[in-house]
Amino acid sequence: MTDLLIELGCEELPAASVLPMAQHLGNALFAQLQASDLCDTPPQIFATPRRLAARFTNVGARQADATVERRGPAKAAAYKDGEPTKALLGFLRSAGVSPDAVETVETPKGEWIVVRQTQPGKTLAEVLEKTMAELMKTMPMPKRMRWGAHSHEFLRPVVWLLALHGSQVLPLQTLGLTASNTTRGHRFHARDALLVADPSVYEQVLEQAHVVADPDKRRSIIVKGVQAQASKLGGTPVMDDELVDEVNCLVEWPVALAGRFDEEFLEIPKEALIQTMQENQRYFALLNPQGDLLPAFITVANLDSQNAQTVIDGNERVIRPRFADTMFFWNQDKKQPLASHQERLGRLLFQEKLGSVANKVARMQALGQWLSEELSVNASDVSMAVSLCKCDLNTEIVKELAKMQGICGRYYALRDGCNADVAEAMEQHYFPKQSGGALPQSGVSQVVSLADKTDTLVGIYGLGLIPTGAKDPFGLRRASIGIARIIIEQQRDIDLAELLEMSRLSFGERLPKPDMSAMLAYVIERLRGYLLERGFAVDAIDAVLAKQVTRPLDIVSRLEAIEQFRQTEAAVSLAAASKRIANILKKVEGGVPTSIDVALFKEAAEQQLFEQLVKVQPAIEAAMDSRDYAKAMQDTAGLRVSVDAFFDGVMVMDEDPALRLNRLAILQRVNALCCGTAELGLLRPGESSSSEHGTVK
């Protein structure tokens, strides 16, 4: 058993494809090696812009021989008068054996002829040969290309193939290449082919040739290098994970270098400068301790230059015209107030059947005013914020840098004298921008955000453009979860059914017959997923949602009460009783009376349960009215002893119809009280509430 190394070298790959392709190479090879009983340890993956590689430990050179059983004809058809038939002789010829090798086996259908043969195991090269061809066909890549006179296809032209098992070169071929024991180093630092004597020295050989093949190690070098350069300048780097990952897949020998730009560009909103540096140049911006942008950046070069200043000068020259363009757009936008863009919103299409962005803003105004009243938020501020929130879509900076929408609106609103809440809403009505992202903070921002997301949700869903699979072009899932998060995490008591209906009314004839119940169910299902992520137990969520509650804050309050209740001794008993009662009541024909006749009591347990009901019912109902669900469930737990005694000592389905109906009426009232907060019959108390979904929060 020895190590195996497979490396495919090529021209520079797009950064986004490097790691997925390397992972595919390793996974596909490992799956075949494991299935062939040649390796049981996942590989170490190596990936740079010019190479995809996987190294496996303890890989066998050959499969073990296997004994295979081949079944021939039935014994009755194999011999006639003691002599082999044509059927048997044909089987023996196909198996390449003599009659002496024949055996018989018993089956449910009688005796059959079999022969047992030893099948030699395949060599490692034989196992990998077909796998290499197949994995190249399934390699994930956005587009394939051909090069030269070849018919082979790959994302970029392939240059070399290395295949080593220990010190032995495997005779593999793929994409027109024949495997060898040589690799290539850095394009500029080490142009000659490099001999790899054994897979174990692969990294060492490459590092001597200015290539860090391990992506995790290379990423660590980048992070440390950027932080070290930033520290020298007295700043903190803006190190988004996506940017670090992209830079990591653009270089083989990372060297962090610091550059500077003219301070006059700091007049531009820092977010615009940061976006330009990150998306256009893959630079790391720097912030001072106060969070303001410094006139400097960190770039990661892909070589160790003898004259680093030349590299720095080149990067500074590149960024200057880009910032100059942004400065021009900023100055153009300063010539007119944000409100001046309102008229042109009518020329921006929101959705063909739903009208323009101006139409959307008008609907948001109507919904925003209703929300302002519901949540006691300044209505005039909401109206102003809604009227301006989409205006920056027409500004020059946003046309150039789309991610600046909302951010530019905030700057322009402050410049025009809007108050802080209105200006903040320009940006924050888009929050949250990603899963777990920041939420809008002020009441005005929250109202505008809810109005925007609800309008999109109701309009798009109302047209029947419902997300399918992973496709959600209008972001309805994100909008639904955003609505739920704002309501719950910002403690805004809103009824989802009312919210959706009020939005529907604002569309008028544009949405003639939307399925509002299906739309509400869609939002509730997204809410259910969010609650699972919060750590609430599946059965508790289902038990509460079964009550058809449409106020998210109310749902959370009920869940918190249920999570406390399910830890009590009464939970197991009452949940079982509720399920039993529900099953009994389902089978009753003709309905159950709502009144209880005390004169029909015959058993002490009946009397005891009724008295307990009379005692706790007012307290439970009062707690429910005040949404004190914890108190309601605490009082409900007091019924446990009486309910258990009732089922132990009373025959519910008595032959006397009057007694039977009276006892069913008692159970019906018990179940109504017990299930006020949630359908207890759906609970599975005694099981951990966080065993599958983490700690309850």
pLDDT value of position 357:
96
pLDDT of residue 191: 87
Sequence-separated contacts (24+) of 403-411 with Cβ below 8 Å: 403/275, 404/269, 404/271, 404/272, 404/275, 405/430, 406/430, 407/269, 407/271, 407/272, 408/269, 408/272, 408/333, 409/338, 411/269
| Same domain for 587 and 476 | no
- Examine residue 591 and state whether it is found in any structural domain, yes or no: yes
Any idea what the CATH number is for the domain that residue 522 is in? 1.10.3210
Q: Do 369 and 236 reside in the same domain of the chain?
A: no
The Cα 457–Cα 484 span in angstroms is 13
Output the CA angle 213-214-215, nearest 5 degrees. Answer: 105
Distance CA 507, CA 390 (A): 18
Asked whether residue 163 falls in the same domain as residue 42, the answer is: yes
Within-domain flag for 38:
yes
**Is there a single domain that holds both residue 465 and residue 609?**
no
Q: What are the pLDDT digits (tens) for 194-224?
A: 999 999 999 999 999 999 999 999 999 999 9
Separation between Cα atoms, residue 655 and residue 685, nearest integer Å: 34
- Output the pLDDT for position 7: 97
Residues 317 and 386 in one domain: no
Count of domains observed in the chain: 5
The answer to whether 546 and 562 are in contact (CB under 8 A) is no
For residue 173, the model assigns a pLDDT of 92
Residue at 546 is within a domain = no
Confidence label for 73 from pLDDT (cuts 50, 70 and 90): confident
| 178 and 235 inside one domain | no
Q: What is the pLDDT of residue 85?
A: 85
Pick the last residue of a domain from 334, 353, 382. 334
Same domain, 398 and 499: yes
Helices and strands (DSSP H and E) totals, the chain? 25, 20
Across-strand partners of 8?
Answer: 52, 161
What pLDDT digit, counting tens, does each position of 76-132 carry?
887 887 778 888 888 888 888 877 777 888 888 888 888 887 778 889 998 998 889
Nearest CA-CA partner of 494 in 558, 429, 450: 450
Q: What is the mean pLDDT of the chain?
A: 91
Provide the domain limits for residue 460: 341-534
Is the domain of 219 the same as that of 329? Answer: yes
What per-residue confidence (pLDDT) applies to 470? 77
Least confident of 49-58, 318-327, 414-423, 575-584: 575-584
pLDDT category of residue 1 using cuts at 50, 70 and 90:
low
pLDDT at 686 over 70: no
Higher pLDDT, 450 or 650: 450
**Do the domain assignments include residue 689?**
no
Confidence of residue 687 (pLDDT cuts 50, 70, 90): low
pLDDT-derived band of residue 459, with 50, 70 and 90 as boundaries? very high
Query: Which of 213-217, 367-371, 374-378, 586-590 is predicted least confidently?
Result: 586-590
Same domain flag for 189 and 46: yes
Angle at 500 between CA 497 and CA 503, to 5 degrees: 145
**Terminal CA-to-CA distance of the chain, rounded, Å?**
50
Q: With pLDDT > 90 as the criterion, what percentage of the chain qualifies?
A: 67
pLDDT digits (tens, 9 = 90+) for 340-358: 999 999 999 999 999 999 9
Tell whether 476 and 528 lie within a shared domain: yes
pLDDT digits (tens, 9 = 90+) for 474-514: 999 999 999 999 999 999 999 999 999 999 999 998 888 89
Q: Distance between CA atoms of 638 and 220, rounded to whole angstroms?
A: 60
CA dist., res. 582 & res. 594, Å (int): 16
The CATH number covering residue 567 comes to 1.10.730.10
Of residues 74 and 296, more confidently modeled = 296
Q: Distance of CA 347 to CAs 130, 383, 393, 672, Å?
A: 57, 21, 11, 56
542 within some domain: no
Q: How confident is the model at residue 692 (pLDDT cuts 50, 70, 90)?
A: very low
Evaluate whether residue 485 is within a structural domain.
yes
Q: Looking at residue 371, what is its pLDDT?
A: 97
The answer as to whether 547 is a domain residue is: no
pLDDT per position as a tens digit, 623-674: 999 999 999 988 888 888 888 888 888 888 888 888 889 888 988 888 888 8
Domain co-membership, 643 together with 520: no
Domain's final residue, options 301, 334, 367: 334
**What DSSP state is assigned to residue 512?**
S
Is 204 in the same domain as 111? no
Would you say residue 689 has pLDDT above 60?
Answer: no
Do residues 561 and 536 lie in contact, with contact meaning Cβ atoms separated by under 8 Å? Answer: no
Q: Which of 109-113, 185-189, 255-259, 405-409 has the lowest mean pLDDT?
A: 109-113
Which segment, 358-372, 605-619, 638-652, 667-681, is predicted with the most confidence on average? 358-372
Checking if the pLDDT of 694 tops 50, the result is: no
Q: Is the pLDDT of residue 583 over 90?
A: no
Cβ-based neighbour number of residue 440 at 10 Å: 23
- Would you say residue 81 lies in a domain? yes
pTM of model > 0.75: yes
> Which pLDDT belongs to residue 501?
96
Among residues 149, 183, 208, which one ends one of the domains?
208
Residue 432: asked if its preceding bond is cis (omega within 30°), the reply is yes
